[in-house]
A and B are shown apart, each in its own frame.
Chain A
C-alpha cells in the first residue's frame, strides 16, 4: 500500500517497470497464465485431474497391477453409479447457488420417500409407467416445496429446515409400508430400465447404462439451459450473489429461491425412479442407507466448484467432478479388491474434497473471487 506511486512524492523511486520481455519472461507469463487458469477455473483443474486419473489407471491396467482391465467398456459400465450422483449434485447446485446458506440435506430422504410412492403407483396400483414417473417427479417437487416454502417465505435457515425434513421424510418412508420394500412383478421387470444399451456404430459400439441416456443427460441439459439460457438462471445467480441487491433490482427473491428447492425436489423424485430400477425394488431406506445420498451429493457439488456462499457454480463442474470421483472409485475398486476398496474410496473422496476446498481458499486470497 505504501509503495503506491503518488505524484506528490517524487522522492520515492517508482517501482522498476518490466522492460520489453525477453524470451524467458514470455514463458514465465505463459506459466503464470496456465497456473492461474488451473487455480481459478475449477473446470480446467477437474479436466486435468480427470485425465491424470484415467492415464494412471490405464497405465496400471496395462502393467497388470489391477484385478481386471480398466478400459473404456469398464469405465462406461461404472457410469451407472454416476446417474444419481450427477442428478443430486445438480440439485445441490441449484440450492446452494440460491445463497443465504442454501443447502439441502433432505434430498436422500426425498429419494427414499418418493421411491415408496413410485413403488406403490407402479408396483401395486398398476399405473402406467409414464404416469408413475410423473407422480414421482410431482411428489418430489411437493417435498421440495415444503423446504422451499419454509426457507424462502418464512425465513428458516436452510441447514436446519432440511435437517428436520430429512428426519421427517425418512421416517415416513419407513413407516408408510411397515418397513417393507415393494418388489412386486412390475417393479422387478423395471430393472430393465437399468440395463446397458449399445451406443455408437457397428462393431465398436460401447455398452452404456440406459439411465445415463434417459435420466442423466436430459437432466444435465435442462439444468444447463435453465441456468444459462433463461432469465430464471440469471435471477438465481443474482439472488445467490447478493439477495438485497437482487430484491432492489426487482427480482422476486422469495419465489426464485423457493423454485430452486422445488426443482431440487423434482430431481430427487426422478432419482428415486432411477434407484428403484437399479435395485429392482422400492426400498424404504434407498436414499439414506449408509452415508446417505445427500452428503456425497453436496461433496460433489463443492468439488465441482459450487461456492457454498452462493451465486457461483456451473453444470459442467458438477458433471466433471462426478466423473472424476466415479472413475477414481472404479479404479480403486480394481486396485484394492474387497472391502478395503470401498473404504479407500472414502479416503479418496475426503482427500480430494479437502484439497479442492483448501485450493479454493488459496485462490480467493491470491486472485479474488473465482469462477
Chain B
C-alpha cells in the first residue's frame, strides 16, 4: 500500500508502459478519499438536521458568519496539514497570530497604514516567525513539538510585551474586506472564505501534482529514505514551517477583521488546537506521510458547523468542544478501521 505512491516512474523495468497516462494516474491516490466523502456526508447531514431544527440556519445571516469564522482556522489548517504530512507539528501558531495581530493593529492605529501594507506586514512577520521555527526544527534536529512549545512561549512573550498590558483600541476598518460585514462580501460570498479556498486549491495542487509536494509526503513516510532518494529534507521541512507562518500571518488579518474595534491580549487563544483538530478530522495522519488539504477544509467546516449549530440550538456554547472531541475520535477511529481493512485485504 505504501510502496505504490513512492515507486519512481520506470522503477519497474518489467512494465515498459509505466509512463503511460493510465499508469501514472494509478500512482496517485484517488482525488477524494473515503474520509472526505464521509466528511461531506456528515456536514450535509448536520446542515439538514440544523435546517429542520432551526429554520434560520440555512439563511445568509447564519451561513455567512459560519464561513467567515471558519476561514482563519482553515487557513492555518492548510499550513498545519503540510507540516503534519512531513511528520511534524506546530503548536506555536496561536502565538504567531497574537504577535501578527498586535503589530498590524498597532500599525493601523498609530500610523494608519493601508490595506495592502497591513496584510504584507502581517504575512511577512508571520513568515519570519515561521522561519525561526523551521530553522530550529530542521537544522537543530529536535522534535517539532518541543521546539514549538518553546517558541510558543517566546512569541507569546513578544506579543504580550507589544500589547503592554492593555488592549489596542479604536482599530480603523481598513481590513473590513475580510470581515463579516457587507464590505467583506462579493455576491454574498465572504472574501475571507474565497481567499482561503483559492489558497487551499493551490496547496492541494502543489501537494498532489508537483515534485516538491510529493517530497513532503516522502519525508513524512520515511525521512531517511527520502534523504537517500535525493530529497533535500531539511530545506523542505523548514519551508513547511515558513509556509505555515505566512498563512498564519494572513489569518491574523482575518481575525482582526472579524473582531470588534478593540483587540485584547487573548487574541488567537486556542487556535493551534482548533487547527490541529481540523487537520485530524480531515483524515491527515498525525504520523505523517498521508493527508490532504481538502480534508482539512472540510474538517474546519465541520468544526465551525458544530460550533454555530450548538449556539443556534440554544445550547451552551461550550458544549461544542464536547462534540468536536467526539468527532475527532470518530474521524480517527474510522481512519484506523480503514487502514486495518486495507492491510488485511
Task: List residues of chain A with CB under 8 Å of any chain B CB.
Answer: 101, 103, 150, 154-157, 159-161, 163-168, 170-172, 174-175, 178-179, 295, 298-299, 302, 308-309, 338-340, 343-344, 346-347, 349-351, 353-354, 357-358, 360-361, 365
Contact = CB atoms under 8 A, between A and B. Distances in A.
A163 B316 CA distance: 21
Contact of B153 (A171, A309, A347, A360): A347
A175 B143 contact: no
A361 B150 CA distance: 15
A365 B318 CA distance: 46
Given A164-B326, A346-B157, A353-B153, A175 B316 contact: yes
B129 interface: no
A167 B328 contact: yes
Interface of B: 89, 91, 136, 140-143, 145-147, 149-154, 156-157, 160-161, 165, 273, 276-277, 280, 286-287, 316, 318-322, 324-326, 328-329, 332-333, 336
Nearest to A150: B329
B321 A160 contact: no
A344 to B, nearest CB: 7
A168 B322 contact: yes
Contacts of A302: 146, 149
A361 B328 contact: no
B336 A295 contact: no
Contacts of A299: 149-150, 153
| Best-buried of B145, B146, B322, B333 by chain A (most CB within 10 Å) | B146
B336 A154 contact: yes
A156 B334 CA distance: 11
Contacts of A358: 136, 140, 142
Nearest to B321: A171
6 contacts: A156-B329, A170-B321, A172-B322, A295-B152, A338-B165, A357-B146
A160 B280 contact: yes
B329 A164 contact: yes
Contacts of B325: 163-168, 171
Given A174-B318, A346-B156, A357 B142 contact: yes
A343 B140 contact: no
Nearest to B340: A155
A308 B137 CA distance: 14
Contact of B319 (A103, A164, A175, A346): A175
Contacts of A361: 140-142
